[in-house]
Amino acid sequence: MFIGNVFLTFATELFCAVGNLAVGIVLARALSPADRGILVLVMTLPWVTANFASLGLPQASIYLVGRKRFDASTVLGNSLVLAVVISLLLVILFQATKNLVLATMLRGMPFQHWALVLTLVPASLIQVMVLSVLHARQRFDLYNLWRLAMSSATLVGFASALVLSAGGLSAAIWAYVSVSALLTVLSVVLTAREVPLTLALNLSLAAESVRFGLKSYVENLVAKLNWRIDFYLIAFFLPPEQLAFYGVATSLAEIAWYFPDSVGAVLFPRLSSAPADQVHEITAKVCRNTLVLTGLIVAGLSATSWFLVPLVYGPVYRATVPPLLILFPGVVCLTAFKVLTRNFTSRNRQQSAILTSCIALTLNVGLDWLLIPRWGIAGAAIASTIGYISAGVLLLALFVRDSGLPWQDVLLPRWAELVGHWQWAKEHVQSIIRHRGSLRDMT
């Protein structure tokens, strides 16, 4: 079940990545660069707002249902009420600062679409809150079905508005808002298949959600700063084209994180619902096996990047390859961090991950300040890699101390487990082939 959920989520991640690439091509061909930039702002604003305004409540829902054994329907009803209240406050705030937002964050957007775009804020927040309950109940089939629908509907919506109908920016905004509304309804419908819908505020539950959620919120915020702070320092020290090269390098390096991110998405609710005496053993097993596959992905990217990058992006992007190769050791080390942090969060010990992330962030910023003026984007890659390694090593040390397990159990693969995974993969591939063969026979 666990391995199946991981690979289902990983396959969904890859499908969505391809879908995002196709959406990018449609937008690039159908809109001017200026209009595409405005649309990116329209698409980004609600999700950024939802992530910052959710206060870690989606993670709290997973923890409360799994570890605290709260009724999922009660947690869902509480989350929906909080989503409505937070959305109302955000809409009031945006309305009060409308002129400032239109002059900065949404500069260039047609004024008549303001009310339309505002509807994206509650839609995004409700989606985040509702889907967290599917995570908590470990219904990754329904959650990944929603993600597949999101990627497909976004592509179809933009293609219909911009290619088939030959519309412009206004048509694209209408298409995106319409798709978001449909996805919000779909998220509620899919969740209602698993958990009865209610709408009731439980003050004590809300207080516990906020206490847990704020720690997860800070943890995620510091981690994201650690992954992106170098962009702003490169923009400060270097010409814009260097930031373009580094942006490609980081996006390629982060392909290796698709798998550990999928593992983490499945692992957190699994640990939150597991008996306390099994949490550390489960984490160690998952970590050592995740490192193996991530290492294989990194090895493949390292072997092919020197000719694929200039082939795909153009010869000028050959400058991307050195920082990309420098980033890879840090990518592998941060894989361990991404797995182990789920262990601490499932035990309401986010402060450990926050501490290690803060140390890594401080180290990263200090080294960026020293190395970028001297070595350019290669210096930024060195700083990031050292920061990633420090985060992984420090959290590993804390995990070993808490669990009493030797570090070898966390990092070194076991042959029997690798053989078992290979057998599982082979059997599922054979099953798919047999199923396709039976479908051909029927037709």
Q: What is the DSSP string of 222-246?
A: HHHHHHHHHHHHHHHHS-HHHHHHH
Nearest Cα residue to 387 out of 369, 374, 400: 369
| C-alpha torsion sign, points 328, 294, 345, 416 | negative
Q: Domain locations in the chain?
A: 1-201, 212-412, 413-442
SS3 content of the chain, % helix, strand, coil (to 5): 90, 0, 10
- Cα–Cα dist 422/425, whole Å: 5
pTM, to two decimals = 0.79
Nearest Cα residue to 268 out of 115, 403, 23, 67: 67
376-423 pLDDT, tens digit each: 999 999 999 999 999 999 999 999 999 999 999 999 988 777 776 667
Instruction: Choose between 182 and 254: higher pLDDT.
Output: 182
- Cα–Cα dist 231/238, whole Å: 10
Token pair for 129: 């809150």
- Cα–Cα dist 146/349, whole Å: 30
| C-alpha torsion sign, points 21, 23, 26, 28 | negative
The amino acid at residue 143 is Y
Q: Residue 99's pLDDT is what?
A: 86
Nearest Cα residue to 422 out of 296, 240, 235, 241: 296
Which residues, other chains included, contact 82 with Cβ-Cβ below 8 Å and sequence gap of 6+?
A: 57, 129, 201, 206, 209
Instruction: Choose between 230 and 183: higher pLDDT.
Output: 183
Q: Residue 138's pLDDT is what?
A: 87
Residues above pLDDT 70, as percent of the chain: 93
- 205 pLDDT more than 90: no
Angle between helical axes of 279-313 and 258-273 (0-180°, round to 10): 160
Nearest Cα residue to 127 out of 49, 204, 41: 49
Task: Specify the range with the lowest mean pLDDT, choosing from 83-97, 100-114, 176-190, 276-290.
Answer: 100-114
- Cα–Cα dist 187/50, whole Å: 15
Residues 83-99 have a mean pLDDT of 89
- 22 pLDDT more than 60: yes
Per DSSP, the residues of 42-67 read HHHHHHHHHHHHSTTHHHHHHHHHHT
Q: Residue 441's pLDDT is what?
A: 55
Task: Specify the range with the lowest mean pLDDT, choosing from 71-80, 161-170, 381-390.
Answer: 161-170
Token pair for 405: 């397990």
Cα 77 to its chain centre, rounded Å, is 25
- 1 pLDDT more than 70: no
